[in-house]
Structure 1
Amino acid sequence: MDLSTRFWMVEDAPTPVGPFSHATEQHGWVFLTGQMPTSPDDDNAPLPEGVAAQTTRVMDNLVLVLKGIGLGLEDVVSARIFLTEFKRDYAAMNAVYAAYFPPAKLPARTCIGVTGLARDALVEIDFIAHRQTSAAA
């Protein structure tokens, strides 16, 4: 097992909005940076309108990162969700989020109301995943 930390940048994933890797990995634990509802094809494109559309884009971006490092949603063990309009958007975000996972295999989760997010996004989500075997170097 490779004990060094791996810093992942995924070619097909969106351009990071700050100085960070898409994910880091050590001992099979993978920490995915929070994804924004930005387009992986055009970093300057307007964000989707509404929390449902933004949640879809965020989840799709997280799937791109997972796929780019050889993982899938079935490897996700925990999620953190950040909402700028918690009371207004919680139910709509949940409806989209839940559709990505089998009902009996939902990751542990925390959902937090915040005063602002990068790019004036309504939602940001990060993941912790676990790889059964180490990635090839």
Structure 2
Amino acid sequence: MSLNGTAYVAQPDAPEPLFHYPQARLAPETPHRVLYVSGIACNRPDGTWPGVSENKNGILSLDIREQTAAALDNIDTIIKSATGGKASVKNLIEATVYIVDMGRDYVGMNEAWNEVFPTRAVAPARATIGVKQLPDPRMIVEIKGSAVVQL
């Protein structure tokens, strides 16, 4: 069993698709608590924005892979901090990913996601939603989720 419980897939013998997440997760049977993580983007407390660069004309270049990796890293930091290091992003049981441009960015987001969660056996259940915009024009992805943790 993974840190975030047991993955459920209706047809477990079917080949694993390009996206790595199960259809559902069953929480661990041990006493646990749920940590609800707000929508988190790539921006860091020090004011940096991984996956965002600006050219001399003020035009932004936005990298979905870097932004997704940074958002997941930020979530990892939050979970570790909230649990005194006893849990991590690997304890996410479910996540919702918001993307500004699904056609352009879904594949890149998924590639970065798969680096953190290499199989559906360890990935949280996930929904990916296309949105018109996020709170800052530099944000092209935001991730929220719930983690099962033991304190």
| Larger RCO of the pair (alpha carbons < 8 Å, separation 6+) | 2
Range with greater deviation from structure 2 (34-43 or 56-65): 34-43
State the partner residue of 2:100: 84
Instruction: State how far apart, in whole Å, the 2-side matches of 1:123 and 1:79 are.
Output: 13
SS in 1 for 2:98: strand
Instruction: State how far apart, in whole Å, the 2-side matches of 1:46 and 1:29 are.
Output: 28
* Residues 46/98 of structure 1: CA separation in 2 closer, same or farther (3 Å cut): closer
The C-alpha deviation readout for 1:13-45, integer Å capped at 9, x for no partner, is xxxxxxxxxxxxxx71111001011122226x5
Spell out the pairing of 1:15-94 with structure 2 (5 A cutoff): 28-42=33-47, 48=52, 49-70=62-83, 71-94=87-110
Instruction: State how far apart, in whole Å, the 2-side matches of 1:109 and 1:46 are.
Output: 23
Which stretches in structure 2 are left out of the alignment for 5+ residues?
1-31, 53-61
Instruction: State how far apart, in whole Å, the 1-side matches of 2:90 and 2:142 are.
Output: 20
Which stretches in structure 1 are left out of the alignment for 5+ residues?
1-26
Instruction: State how far apart, in whole Å, the 1-side matches of 2:107 and 2:71 are.
Output: 16
Instruction: State how far apart, in whole Å, the 2-side matches of 1:39 and 1:65 are.
Output: 12
Instruction: State how far apart, in whole Å, the 2-side matches of 1:76 and 1:100 are.
Output: 11
Larger radius of gyration: 2
State the partner residue of 1:130: 148
Instruction: State how far apart, in whole Å, the 1-side matches of 2:47 and 2:136 are.
Output: 14
The C-alpha deviation readout for 1:25-77, integer Å capped at 9, x for no partner, is xx71111001011122226x586231111111111111110110122123110
2:109 aligned partner, one-letter code: M
SS in 2 for 1:119: coil
* Residues 42/102 of structure 1: CA separation in 2 closer, same or farther (3 Å cut): same
- Within the candidate set 134, 140, 145, 1:117 is matched to 134
Instruction: State how far apart, in whole Å, the 2-side matches of 1:98 and 1:128 are.
Output: 18
2:145 aligned partner, one-letter code: F
